[in-house]
Amino acid sequence: MNRFQFCAGLLGSAALAALPIPAFPQAASAQRLDAPGAIDLAGRLRMLSQRCTKAYLQWGQSIASDSARALLQESISRYEAHMAALKSFQPNPAVQASLPQLQTLWSQFKALLAGEPNRTGAASLYDANEAMQSAAHYLTVSYSNSNGSPHEHLIGLAGRQRMLSQRMAKFFFYRTWELFEAPADMEMHLSRAHFTAVLTQIEAARHITPAAQAAATRLRRAWEPYQQALFASKDTATMRTNAAQVAEGSERVLAAAEDLVALLLAQAQGKST
């Protein structure tokens, strides 16, 4: 273990241990799903594909490695629970075709996550992870097309913010491991542009509740220091210095985005917030 790995692990583990745990729904397989709920779960699969890879890269570089290992195992368990729940609700042919394809990709992807992380494994995950995210996105859109109400559209958009929070950290950690540096840098900037544009769109939405508007404001507050840490420097050594802060920020933004999605979901399902 080099000096960077030791320091990042020592400082990052303490910081991440104090983070709020994102409010994932419990016992997803036991839920009776409707279209908004399915969009939420399928959208979370997009995020979990990125979070699994982010955690693998963190663990492999000893960036808060104990916390990263726990995040990886939790993300795998959540992914499988959500897949099981979604199989009980397949309202249209597009969903019926998408789920088996995603299951096949997940089985292959999960095998790559097994064992101690290393650079060879990280390189193998790069394309497999992108295929997983694309398939999960198609599934989310397929559920959205079953109704397509404005509220469901917003759930999908806000759910994508969860994914982008993890995607930017994932590409950051590819850069600190000096893998796929040019494409990872490009993807970080594209993800930031998308995140910023969608957050502005959600903040301007007229048909969301005051509670959801307040949650969007909290997401904005969490986002600003996170993006500063992500894009403070392109120098690899400096990025490594910021690695623990990026890991922490990615989880804070994720928790804020989960809050927002939960409120939008409650509104779509007619529940009081």
| Alpha helices (H) in 1-118, listed in sequence order | 3-17, 35-60, 65-86, 93-113
Which tokens belong to 124? 């193998």
Could you give the CA distance from residue 179 to residue 122 in angstroms, rounded to a whole number? 8
| pLDDT-above-70 percentage for the chain | 86
| Higher pLDDT pick, 6 / 152 | 152
Q: Residue 26 has what pLDDT?
A: 47
Q: Looking at residues 10-22, what average pLDDT do you find?
A: 47
Calculate the dihedral angle through the C-alpha atoms of 178, 183, 185, 190, rounding to the nearest 10 degrees.
Answer: -160
Could you give the CA distance from residue 221 to residue 230 in angstroms, rounded to a whole number? 15
Q: Cα dihedral sign for 195, 196, 199, 204? A: negative
| Higher pLDDT pick, 170 / 25 | 170
pLDDT band, very low/low/confident/very high, at 267 (cuts 50, 70, 90)? confident
Q: Residue 146 has what pLDDT?
A: 60
Average model confidence (pLDDT) across the chain: 89
Of the listed ranges 107-111, 153-157, 201-205, the one predicted with least confidence: 153-157
Q: For residue range 99-154, what is the model confidence (pLDDT) as tens digits? A: 999 999 999 999 999 999 999 999 999 999 999 999 999 999 999 876 667 888 88
Look at residue 239 and tell me whether its pLDDT is greater than 80: yes
Asked if 19 contacts 251 with a C-beta cutoff of 8 angstroms, the reply is yes
Of the listed ranges 16-30, 44-58, 79-93, 244-258, the one predicted with least confidence: 16-30
Look at residue 14 and tell me whether its pLDDT is greater than 80: no
Could you give the CA distance from residue 18 to residue 215 in angstroms, rounded to a whole number? 21
For residue 225, the tally of other CB atoms under 10 A from its CB is 14
Calculate the dihedral angle through the C-alpha atoms of 79, 80, 85, 87, rounding to the nearest 10 degrees.
Answer: 110
Look at residue 22 and tell me whether its pLDDT is greater than 70: no
pLDDT band, very low/low/confident/very high, at 32 (cuts 50, 70, 90)? confident
Which tokens belong to 58? 């963190």
Residue 265: which of 193, 201, 209 has the closest Cα? 209
Q: For residue range 38-63, what is the model confidence (pLDDT) as tens digits? A: 999 999 999 999 999 999 999 999 99
94-124 per-residue burial string, b: 16 or more CB within 10 A, e: under 16: bbeebbeebeebbeebeebbeeebeeebbee
Amino acid at residue number 127: D
Q: Tell me the CA distances in angstroms from 168 to 1, 5, 48, 67, 189, one per residue in order.
A: 25, 20, 13, 18, 8
Look at residue 231 and tell me whether its pLDDT is greater than 90: yes
Q: Residue 145 has what pLDDT?
A: 74
Q: Looking at residues 174-200, what average pLDDT do you find?
A: 98
| Alpha helices (H) in 114-242, listed in sequence order | 119-144, 150-176, 181-204, 210-230, 236-241
Q: Residue 150 has what pLDDT?
A: 80
| Higher pLDDT pick, 35 / 80 | 80
Asked if 261 contacts 157 with a C-beta cutoff of 8 angstroms, the reply is no
Of the listed ranges 18-32, 73-87, 89-103, 176-190, the one predicted with least confidence: 18-32
Residue 49: which of 21, 20, 75 has the closest Cα? 75
Q: Residue 270 has what pLDDT?
A: 79
Could you give the CA distance from residue 31 to residue 111 in angstroms, rounded to a whole number? 28
